[in-house]
Structure 1
Amino acid sequence: MATIYITTQGATVQRRSGQFLVCKDASILENVPETHVRQLILFGNVNLTTPAVAFCLDQQIEVVFLTQGGRFRGRLNGDGGKSAAVRRRQYERARDESFCLAQAQAIVAGKIKNLIAFARRQQEAASAGRELNLLKRSLESAQRATSVETLLGIEGSASAAYFGLLRACVPPPWKFEKRTAHPPLDEVNAMLSLSYTLLYNRMTSHLNMIGLDPYQGFFHQVRHGHAALASDLIEEFRPLIADALVLKLLRRKQIKPEDVVKEKGEFRLRPEGSKVFFAEFERKLNSRRTAEEHGDLNLTYAQIFVRQAHHFARVLAGDEPRYVPFTVK
């Protein structure tokens, strides 16, 4: 099952004779059998016909709407999970401060472990002893934290140290001084934000399908329009998938500076750059890793994503004691 990315401005997605067709004017730009499609991601001014909307709703094919630059606008999805009992248990757990703290500690510790593991693999990390030591101390502090609020500060400090190290890993002529997100202030930040948005949307979709409320988190604070639980559960994957992908594309010159343009205050990839970016993102998701802490071997990242969402659901139900993030060494 595939995620289809449509970036051509003015294109229309139709459904005809068992196919999704991406058309513009009188031309068919792409056609994909409807049975192969799990999700549609539309960037900017892309239209969706009523028959295509109806089919997506009936078949639980999620449609995600982003700006041209990859900023999230909204989503179209059907009923998804229909168990009120699952969500009632989730909301009850969210009122339990000790439960929230235990899950938040696991989430933050898992993220920092993966930040350290990813940083150690970079040649540039040899001269970044200060940042690595800060990350190690942040991990120790997270494991001793006594409140979610404290963990938020620890996670922020760890991220700042990590992005300081990442700055040295970005090859010239690209510029990356610090992490900026709302909005991204340079091309590298824009690509990081886009990759994080793709992870966030994929996790939100999984949570909807298994009946959880993506907006009720346990580490990230609840705020209007933010799928806090999706943000919670992608933390451990940010360095392993998103950051690794962006560095690979820059180092191998698969994305070049001329592939990124800035229009109306927003960075976006040109069509050829988009094609490379999304193909490599899907390739990364389909690459295989071990998940020894769960007794699983040789799973793709996409499978681990689903596994982690179901694992958290079992924790909420009381079938497993505590969330165990996916980590690498």
Structure 2
Amino acid sequence: MGILYVTEQGAFLTKAGERIVVRKGDKVLRWVKGNEVSQVIIFGNVGLTTQATAFLLRRGIDVVFLSAGGDYRGRLVTDLGKNVALRKKQFERFSDRDFGLALAREFVRGKVENCLALLRNHNRHHQDEEVASAAHRLRRNLLKVEGASSIEELMGVEGDSARVYFSGFGRCLRGEGFTFTKRTRRPPRDEVNAMLSFGYTLLSSVVSGAVAVTGLDPYFGSFHSEEYGRQSLVLDLMEEFRPVVVDAVVLRVVNRKIVTASDFVRNPESEWLSADDEAEGDGLGPDDFPVLMSYAGRKKFIQAFEARLREKLLYIRYGKRLRLRDIIQEQARLLARAVVGEEEYRSYRMG
């Protein structure tokens, strides 16, 4: 089953029989059968009729609400999984220092190894010395991951690895009009950061859906600490897939000129601007405003994102190629089995 993205502002979702219908005024923009959709992602000013809401809940279809720019707002979900015994075991195992640290170490190891793989794959063709240097430092950091004796130490290694990785990642971008020097999140200060932030939001929705299927509690993780309203386990599982899915998509759409600099806008009225920023608004220049993807840019990025999830990659556990979306689900299931002691968790590594 797939994901239905609704980006048309002013549209609304209703139902007709067993179909989900997207309308704008009297015009039908799209319709899909309910049994063909596992998740609906809504951007900005899009409405839901009462009938559509009831239908989605009855079908157990997850609905994610994002701002028009792709910032997470909330979700409409059915009851949390009924497997109370699994969640009790999750709380018990994740509260055990040794188990929690070993699991967190595996999440970080997977992320660093996949960042390294992405840089190496790029450098096979371009032989960039700065990319090679970043890859070398990431290899050294893998040893530090193994030796980390606390979550705090592991977070330090992960943070340093991210800085090193993105210094090399910027050298992999070859599209005209794109520059990238460092990761900036809230707000994204350039076009590449805007795509990364948007992509990670989409990825979190996919991973959240995979975790929900297993019955694990998405709010209790091992690497990311508990914060009210934060899905820490989803963030944990996302780590190994950030370079595999989102970063790979960003490189693809930039280097193949699928997305261009004209697909972005600077927004002087963004919610990301603080009160202090607004108070000093007359002193802000264009480069100080957050960069957002346009409607056309988001549409092209979503298409590339979905195409990546449909790609088949080698899944070593089964010794065969699976769709990337299915690999994410299998990793969530493996995590549930690790919680109950049936298997040891091993992060996904791309070749």
Interval containing the TM-score (normalised by the shorter chain): over 0.9
Q: Is the 8 A contact 2:219 2:234 kept in 1?
A: yes
Aligned residue type for 1:237: F
In structure 2, the partner of 1:127 is 129
Task: Normalising by structure 2, report the TM-score.
Answer: 0.90
Q: Is the 8 A contact 2:204 2:238 kept in 1?
A: yes
> Structure 1 residue 229 and structure 2 residue 233: aligned?
yes
Counterpart mapping for 1:180-191 below 5 A: 180-191=184-195
Aligned residue type for 2:148: A
Q: Is the 8 A contact 2:64 2:74 kept in 1?
A: yes
In structure 1, the partner of 2:285 is none
Deviation of 1:18 after TM superposition, in Å, equals 2.4
Deviation of 1:225 after TM superposition, in Å, equals 1.8
Per mean C-alpha deviation after superposition, the further-off stretch among 192-201 and 117-126 is 117-126
In structure 1, the partner of 2:260 is 256
Using the alignment, how far apart are the partners of 2:194 and 2:255 within structure 1?
Answer: 16
In structure 1, the partner of 2:349 is 327
Q: Give the aligned length.
A: 327
Q: Is the 8 A contact 1:69 1:267 kept in 2?
A: no
Aligned residue type for 1:135: L
SS in 2 for 1:9: coil
Deviation of 1:299 after TM superposition, in Å, equals 0.6
What do residues 64-101 of structure 1 show as CA deviations (whole Å, max 9, x unaligned)? Answer: 00011111110001024211111111111121000011
Using the alignment, how far apart are the partners of 2:323 and 2:291 within structure 1?
Answer: 30
In structure 2, the partner of 1:308 is 331
Counterpart mapping for 1:39-118 below 5 A: 39-118=39-118
Using the alignment, how far apart are the partners of 1:311 and 1:296 within structure 2?
Answer: 15
Using the alignment, how far apart are the partners of 1:35 and 1:4 within structure 2?
Answer: 12
Per mean C-alpha deviation after superposition, the further-off stretch among 311-320 and 206-215 is 206-215
Using the alignment, how far apart are the partners of 1:226 and 1:297 within structure 2?
Answer: 34
Q: Is the 8 A contact 2:194 2:293 kept in 1?
A: no
Task: Normalising by structure 1, report the TM-score.
Answer: 0.96
Unaligned stretches of 5+ residues in structure 2: 271-289
In structure 2, the partner of 1:152 is 155
What do residues 129-180 of structure 1 show as CA deviations (whole Å, max 9, x unaligned)? Answer: 3312211111010011111110000000000000000111222311211001
SS in 2 for 1:146: coil
SS in 2 for 1:163: helix
Counterpart mapping for 1:159-238 below 5 A: 159-171=162-174, 172-238=176-242
What do residues 295-326 of structure 1 show as CA deviations (whole Å, max 9, x unaligned)? Answer: 33111101101100000000000111x31011
SS in 2 for 1:122: helix
Using the alignment, how far apart are the partners of 1:26 and 1:45 within structure 2?
Answer: 17
Deviation of 1:209 after TM superposition, in Å, equals 2.2
What do residues 260-310 of structure 1 show as CA deviations (whole Å, max 9, x unaligned)? Answer: 223323544333322221121111101001112x13311110110110000
* Candidates 270, 285, 292, aligned match of 2:309: 285
Deviation of 1:120 after TM superposition, in Å, equals 0.5
Aligned residue type for 1:81: G
Deviation of 1:57 after TM superposition, in Å, equals 0.7
Per mean C-alpha deviation after superposition, the further-off stretch among 223-232 and 255-264 is 255-264
Aligned residue type for 2:245: I
Q: Is the 8 A contact 1:249 1:255 kept in 2?
A: yes
Unaligned stretches of 5+ residues in structure 1: none
What do residues 83-134 of structure 1 show as CA deviations (whole Å, max 9, x unaligned)? Answer: 1111111111121000011111111111111111110111356312331221
Percent identity over paired residues? 38
Using the alignment, how far apart are the partners of 2:47 and 2:18 within structure 1?
Answer: 19
Q: Is the 8 A contact 2:309 2:323 kept in 1?
A: yes
Change (3 A) 1:45 1:2: same
SS in 1 for 2:221: coil
Q: Is the 8 A contact 1:86 1:211 kept in 2?
A: yes
SS in 2 for 1:121: helix
Per mean C-alpha deviation after superposition, the further-off stretch among 209-218 and 167-176 is 167-176
In structure 1, the partner of 2:14 is 14
